Amino acid sequence: MGAKRLVPGQSQRDGKRVGDPDWSSLVLRIRQHDPSGVDDLYSIFVNPVRSYLRRHLGRIDHLEDVVHDVFLTVVQGIVRGDLSEPNGLNGYIRTVLHRKVAGRPTT
């Protein structure tokens, strides 16, 4: 996945991409245990997460379990305060994915 962002869009002058969600609002809703924040996180990232896992793990019977584990780890980390900058959400998810694929603890 490298330096690629998980959410597609065209760059603007300020570095944001057209169509990017308001990451600060999304992270705040998750920290406040608002189910809509988790729902939005899932709907934005589920396809890229699945695709990444398929590319790196191949065809596995328990793919949805691994996807669930990734999102659980991400949400728990956000609630715990591991994500200090909401605009770093893409990178945070990539880190969790890399660690999950490598079999390392994801915290």
Statement: 23-102 belongs to CATH 3.20.20.70: no
Q: Which amino acid is at 85?
A: E
Centre a 10 Å sphere on the Cβ of residue 99 and count the other Cβ atoms it contains: 15
3 pLDDT more than 50 = no
Burial of residue 21 (number of CB atoms within 10 Å: 0-12, 13-18, 19+): middle
Q: If you write DSSP's letter for every residue of 27-41 in order, what string do you get? A: HHHHHTT-HHHHHHH
**pTM for the whole structure:** 0.79
List the Cα angle 17/19/22 in 5-degree steps: 85
Which sequence spans correspond to the domains of the chain?
23-102
Q: What is the mean pLDDT of residues 51-58?
A: 93
Q: How confident is the model at residue 60 (pLDDT cuts 50, 70, 90)?
A: confident
Q: Is 7 helix (H, G, I), strand (E, B) or coil?
A: coil
Q: Which position has the higher pLDDT, 68 or 59?
A: 68
